Chains A and B, each alone.
Chain A
Amino acid sequence: METRIQIVAVLATAALFFVVFEAVRRRRLMERYALLWLFCTAVLLGLAVWKDALEEFASAVGIYYAPSALFAIALGFISVLLLHFSLVISRLADQTKVLAQRISLLQARIDELEAAQREGAAAVDEPDEPARLVARR
């Protein structure tokens, strides 16, 4: 493999690894989502540095130009990550739905309780002062 492209690959994957790691360190990225990223970048970094392994892999699967094996592996990882995100989004959509339904039920209940309370207060208070009840609310 050409040395220039190896340098570029090492720098790019190292930068990606650093960005992900830094995001986790600053609590911008949860560990559970960072693990897949860190694993991907670690593997890619390893292949970029240790070029014998990449060439071995490339010839094993029949890729003539070894650096494109790196791209193929990266593409595989990206597909897995995207699928992972789709799964996460589906779960979040489910959770959001349940929360929205729960909020509507709670809201209806609060409105009802408030109405009942107002009626109770109206019965206790002087009934000829409806303005005060409105103001208290």
Chain B
Amino acid sequence: MSKLLAIVPAYNEVGAVAGTVAEIRRHAPEFDVVVVDDGSTDGTAGAARAAGARVLRLPFNLGIGGAVQAGYVYAAEQGYDVAVQVDGDGQHDPRCLPVLLDHLRSRPDLNMVTGSRFLAADGHGYRSSASRRLGIRIFGGILSAVVGRRVTDPTSGLRMTDRRGIELFARDYPHDYPEVEAVLLMHHHRLNAEELPVRMRERRAGVSSINATRSVYYMVKVLLAIFVGLLRTRPAVDPGDEAPVRAQQAV
């Protein structure tokens, strides 16, 4: 029997996190739920605990990358075989977790399955602003060219990984706006990923971490990350490599 974990990063999501946890437990009961409270100042941790999740409380706000990685470290140490990331704000529908899991299990060559908003079979894609769609299309184009498979939803945070993916992300995970870079990271380690169509909903409560001014920073930062990643001689850390964080050598 394999151990399954749902990682729910949440920052000030007291209005939505309990519903998300309850939905995961109802629609995907074989998954354990761990909520990573990213230094929330409201009752997120308490609400999550009351809903029946295990809670990792970060002592201060690390940002989505650091919070999710804490979940992967937990998954790696507790010996989970599959981990899926579900946003705490209710955008991701836990009903698609069994679908993702079935696909991951039916294809042993796959290490990661991502839920894509833009592959929906009925042609009814996700509604969002034109600028955001343009950004997503640009990243999708670049990523598709780099990794050599079609990436339609590079910013999707709904991702299910196997044990190798868990161990990779526990060792090395991008800092902020990690979704695009995580796709690259998988590619650099020769892990295979695929997309499945999912429906996403409007966020239930709280505020998105990406607003208009930040989206410019987002674009520039992610583009820099993509191209630096391409030029890097050692794109990531494998077991036995030097630690990514080292004591400083002398000047």
Q: A88-108 vs B: 1/0 string, CB under 8 Å?
A: 100100110110110111011
Check B250 against A100 for contact (C-beta < 8 Å).
Answer: no
Please name all residues of chain B whose beta carbon is closer than 8 Å to the beta carbon of A95 when the two chains form the complex.
245
Known: A95-B245, A100-B59. A35 touches B250 (CB 8 A): yes
Contact, CB under 8 Å: B73 / A108: no
* Interface: B244 (CB within 8 A): yes
Please tell me the number of chain A residues within 8 Å of chain B, measured between CB atoms: 19
Residue of B nearest to A88 (CB): B248
Give Cα distance in the complex from A108 to B177, angstroms: 26
Partner among A32, A36, A39, A104 whose Cβ is within 8 Å of the Cβ of B57: A104
> Given that A84-B251, A94-B245, A100-B66 are known contacts, is A107 also in contact with B57, CB under 8 Å in the complex?
yes
- CB pair B245–A98 under 8 Å, yes or no, is yes
Cβ–Cβ contact B56 & A94, under 8 A: no
Q: Does B236 contact A (CB under 8 A)?
A: no
* Residues 184 to 206 of chain B near chain A (Cβ within 8 Å): none
Is there contact, CB below 8 Å, between B59 and A103?
yes
Given the interface contacts A94-B245, A95-B245, does A105 sit within 8 Å of B251 by beta carbon? no
B251: contacting residue among A35, A91, A100, CB under 8 A: A35
Contact B248 A101 (CB under 8 A): no
B69 at the interface (CB under 8 A from A): yes
Which chain B residue shows the least CB distance to A32? Answer: B250
In the complex, per-residue mask of A20-51: 1 if CB is within 8 Å of any chain B CB, else 0: 00000000000011011001000000000000
Binding site for A on B (CB under 8 A): 36, 54-60, 62, 66, 69-70, 73-74, 77, 175, 244-246, 248, 250-251
23 A-B pairs with CB atoms under 8 Å apart are: A32-B248, A32-B251, A33-B251, A35-B251, A36-B251, A88-B248, A91-B246, A94-B244, A94-B245, A97-B62, A97-B175, A100-B58, A100-B59, A101-B62, A101-B69, A103-B59, A104-B57, A104-B59, A104-B70, A105-B73, A105-B74, A105-B77, A107-B56
| A interface residue numbers (CB < 8 A to B) | 32-33, 35-36, 39, 84, 88, 91, 94-95, 97-98, 100-101, 103-105, 107-108
With A94-B245, A100-B58, A104-B70 already in contact, 20 other A-B pairs whose C-beta atoms are closer than 8 Å: A32-B250, A32-B251, A35-B251, A39-B251, A84-B251, A91-B248, A97-B62, A97-B175, A98-B245, A100-B59, A100-B60, A100-B66, A101-B58, A101-B66, A101-B73, A103-B58, A105-B56, A105-B74, A105-B77, A108-B55
